[in-house]
């Protein structure tokens, strides 16, 4: 295998930097009105849409 220079790795990391860091995992607890049990809804959403996730039912 050929060696990869440090500069190439840094450039590759910089190109991919925004891909995963813009998303967050959110967890919302939902109470069932009939039984009273609490369930959790987990989802990975973009960090700009977190408020919309919690606002929706």
Average model confidence (pLDDT) across the chain: 85
- The span from the CA of 28 to the CA of 51, in Å, is 11
Tell me the whole-structure pTM to 2 decimals. Answer: 0.58
Mean pLDDT of the 31-39 span: 95
Whether residue 34 has pLDDT greater than 80: yes
- State whether the Cα torsion 38-44-48-53 is positive or negative: negative
Q: What is the dihedral of CA 40, 52, 43, 57, to 10 degrees?
A: 40
């Amino acid at each position: 295998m050929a060696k990869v220079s440090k500069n190439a790795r840094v450039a590759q990391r910089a190109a991919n930097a925004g891909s995963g860091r813009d998303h967050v995992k959110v967890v919302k607890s939902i109470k069932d009105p009939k039984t009273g049990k609490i369930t959790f809804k987990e989802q990975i959403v973009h960090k700009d849409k977190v408020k919309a996730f919690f606002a929706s039912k």
